[in-house]
Structure formats: structure tokens, C-alpha cells
Amino acid sequence: MNRKVFHIASIIIPVTAIVLAGDVSAATDLPDLPVGKVYYVDSQAGSDNHDGLSAERPWKSLDAVNRVTFQPGDTLLFKAGTSYQGQLKPQGSGDPQHPIRIDAYDLKEPVGSFRGLPRIDADGKTDSALLLYNVQGWEVRNLELTNTGPDRKPRRSGAAVRIRDFGTAKHILLSGLYVHDVNGSLVKQQGGGQGILLSNEGRQVQSRFDGLTIENCLIRRCERNGIIQHGYSSRSQWYPNLNVRIRGNRLEEIPGDGIVPIGCDGAIVEYNRMRDCTRLLPEGEAAAGIWPWACDNTVIQFNEVSDHKAPWDGQGFDSDWNCQNTLIQYNFSHDNEGGFLLVCNNGQSQMPYSIGNIGTVVRYNVSVNDGIRTQRTHVGVFSPTFHISGPCKDTKIYNNTIIITRKPEGDVDKTILKMDNWGGPWPEQTWFANNIFYVQDRAGYQFGKDIKTVFVNNLYFGNQDNRPPDEKAIVAEPCFESSDFLAVPERAGIDPEKGFKEDPYLAKLRLKQGSPGAGQGKQIPDNGGRDILGKAISDKACSVGAKE
């Protein structure tokens, strides 16, 4: 795949000083530019009677853009600070070597500030402000998208990438988009609504994405959800999306599901930040931060989720049903009302539709002050830190640091782990090792009729009712470098180069020298080789918890 970056918005020299005739082959000063035409759009100074091939003769409206079938290597530039009504629905396809690019030009603000971007308002008149439909080979950067109608409408979104009876769509990139104020339905069964929708379907021709990236976007006040991907969910029609990466995005004031890949194999969700979730969902609506469904080999890493307030579920992270080999590692979860982690499987849904939930691994994560729900659900105030429900098999949870802070008095849930039986059967072969369970007040465990759950080499501190048998339990104060757990600092995003490597808050949770958990962990093969702060794990002696 061609990974060269063409970023018009960041070029200091005006594009018009380099390309005046609309032919990029003449732009010898920009060797990364592919051969193709450059089109300009300016709602203030343009005219749809222009040819759009120079900044002096730009188009004015989206209608002019939508009439053109773009060719591989073409570029479409919107003038910074301009605005447009309607839907941008460009036609034509590029390819991985010669994608078609959309970007801003004459941008005065720094890239990544999300200020001064060309703005497209759908005003609720179309399902999305940007629609890529049955195309491939597109890179879209630096647009502001909004879609607020007079009333909520199901399936409304800011940006949508959809293929139907298309085959394989290769190389699609959405980067640096500011997607906000989308008033879709708050009810999942009605179709919801989202900032970015990704959808692949087709009965005549099975269709999927191969090379789909959503990166560095800001998604704010989009209802119901943030980034949702719909694909083939039934195992009898298994045709997964490939090479999907969702990275470096910020999600703010989202009431529902944050990031949900569906129908993928090998999706990577990393360096995303979800925070300040709004309390808008009606009673009984379930949602969580980041989770896959009907996916295999998903990697969820270096993400931070906080402040989730969904009436049901409401965890930071989830390994959901119809999934195999989900890996949740190096994440930070805090202040989520429903808890840190859900692992679930619907026992009534089996093959050929669902493969179940098999082989989830949860390691080197930190949870602080999760499970703080005070509002009643349909089963009371329910918010265990861990909720494992249904016949989930071979789940491994190790080297996590779990801080359960002092909860308010009254009707609150003080459960560390709740085993449950969604659809009838119970979890099987769940393994907890090298975790730190730190309780400031009192909390406990509820196992029900779980099958072959094993605890080994975990550290327990505080009053813990019904503590499980653990042949090498460490019952002691872990001796963190600091016990100032509630002062979690705000951060705009997570540096993809560093992850949490230099995070001052997480550094407080290192074990002091001489801690009873330092160097006392059980050696685990294929443990990822590093802790949440990036320190290498010794093959001779490791510690308990998420940090060496």
C-alpha cells in the first residue's frame, strides 16, 4: 500500500503558486502528487459555470462536485472557512497507488486544531453530510461535517462509507474530520445514529473493505454513537472486512456506543479517547465504550474511555459475542458508571449464526473508579467492575490493575466480579492471574454457577467478600508510588508515538521497590513483552498489576 501523505492543508506555499492549470503533472515541486487533475471549490467566490480547475475559477456548490466522475489521482480542494449546504457524494474510484483525495486549501489554522475547516451542513435533509457509496481509493481529510435536523431521525450520520453488491473496496481513509451535532435516534433498535457509519452488504455480490482507516477525527455531540461499522454478522455468510484501523480519534459527548467494529478480521482500534459522555439514552438502552461484535482477532489497545453513563452496560470496554480471540491490552478505563469490562455471549444464539465468545485476552489495563452507577436499572443498581455473562470460553484476564475507590453509601453495587448466565449457560474456563484488586472500602465476588474459573497469583487489598480460592494469593497493600487515585488529569488525546509511556497519572500506580507484588508475578507465555508504560517484561521475574 502506498503510505505517502499528500496533505494540501499543511503546505505553506499556496497551491495556486504551484499549480495554476489544474494539472498536477506540472507540479514538479511536489513529487508525492499523483498524476491527475486538481479541482477547487469556494462557496464565496466560485461559480458552477467555472471549470473548477484553478483557485481563480473554482466551483461554488456541492452540486457541481457531485456531477463529476473523478479519476484515479484526482484531487478535490475546498477553500478553508467556506460552508456548504447539502450532501457531498463524490463519484468515481481511485486505487491504492493513485487515490482520489479531498482536502482543504488556504487553511490558516494548524492541522489538527479543527478550526477553519470547510464545513458541510446536511441539515437533516439527507442521511449523511458526506457519503462515499460504492467507490474505493478515496482519502478524505480536513472537513467539518454536521447533520442536525428539526427532529431526531434513525440512521442519521455525519459521514457514511457504504458499499453494497460492490465486491472488495480497497484503500479508504477518513482523516482529520470534525464531525459534530448529529441528532440521530437514541434507540438502537430503531437504527440509532452516529458520527461515522461504515457499512458493507450485498446479496448478489458479497462486499467488504480491505484497507479502511479512520484516524485523527474529532467526533462530538453525535447521537447515538461515535464510529459504527456494520458488516456480515452471521457466520453462515462470513466475509469479514480486512485491514481495518481506527486510531487517534477523540469522541466527546457521545451518549451511546463509542467505537464498534462489526464483521471484521484483524481490526485494530488504538490511541482513541472517549470522554464526557452525555446522559441522554432512554431507560434500558445498552451501550459501552469500545467493543467488537461478530469479529475475529480484534486488537483494542492504548485507548482511554471515561464517563460512560449508559442506563445498561456502560462499561469502558467489552468483548462481545460472536467473536474469537479479542485482545484488550494497555487501555485506561476510569469513571465509567457501568464498570470496566464486559465479556459476554448470548447462549441462545449458536452456529451457524454465532461462533460464541472464545479466547478473549485482557491484559495490562488500568481501571480506576469504574462501576459507580447510582441510578437504578431494570435489575436494580447494577455496576460490577467485571461482568462476564453467558457461555464465554477460555477467557484470560491477567496483569491488570483494578482500583475500586470508596463508593457512596446507600443503594450502590459494590461487586468486583459478577458471573452471569445470559441465554442460560455460564462462563467456562475463565482465568485470572497477576491482577491487583485494590479496594478502598468493601467489595465482593459473585460466581453463580460458573465453570472452572481459576484465580492464581493475584494481589488482594481491602475488604473483599467471597474472595475466590487462589493458591498463590498475595494479600497485602500493593504499595503504589501514590494513592491519589481520583485526580485523573484531562488530556485531549493519546500520542500514537508514546501511548501511555510518559503518562504521569499512570506512573503513580507503579509498585514501589519492596512492594509485596514486585517481581512476584506468574510467568505467562506470549504476554506481549511490555507493560502499559512500555517497560519490557523480564522473562525471569515479572510483577503483578499493569506496570512492572
Q: How far apart are CA 36 and CA 26, in angstroms?
A: 10
- pLDDT for residue 364: 98
Distances in whole angstroms, Cα of residue 195 to Cα of each of 3, 183, 184: 26, 9, 9
- Report DSSP letters for 215-274, one per residue: ES-EEEEEESEEEEEE----GGG---EEEEEEES-EEES--S--EE-BSEES-EEES-EE
For residue 355, give the H/E element and its range. Answer: none
* pTM across the whole model: 0.93
What residue spans define the domains of the chain? 8-507
CB environment 492-526: b (16+ within 10 A), e (fewer):
eebeeeebbeebebbeebbbeeebbbbebbeebee
pLDDT at 419: 97
- Residue carrying the nine cell digits 431494570: 378
Q: 480497497: which residue's cell?
A: 170
Angstrom distance (rounded) from CA 439 to CA 407: 10
- CATH topology for 8-507 is Pectate Lyase C-like (2.160.20)
What is the 3-state composition of the chain as percent helix, strand, coil, each rounded to the nearest 5? Answer: 5, 40, 55
Report strand pairing: 315-319 vs 339-344: parallel
The mean pLDDT values, 10 residues at a time, for the chain of 548 residues are: 40 32 34 74 97 97 98 98 98 96 95 95 98 98 98 97 98 98 96 97 96 98 96 95 98 98 98 96 96 98 97 96 98 96 96 97 97 83 95 98 89 93 96 97 96 98 97 95 80 80 88 93 95 92 94
Over its C-alpha atoms, the chain yields an Rg (Å, rounded) of: 25
Per residue, the 3-state secondary structure of 261-294, as one string, reads CECEECCEEECCEEECCCCCCCCCCEECCECCEC
Angle at CA of residue 351, ends 345 and 354, nearest 5° = 40
- CA dist., res. 514 & res. 479, Å (int): 8
Q: What pLDDT, on a 0 to 100 scale, did the predictor assign at position 492?
A: 65
**All three cell numbers of 308:** 460512560
d(CA 303, CA 328): 10
Q: How far is CA 127 from the centre of its chain?
A: 22
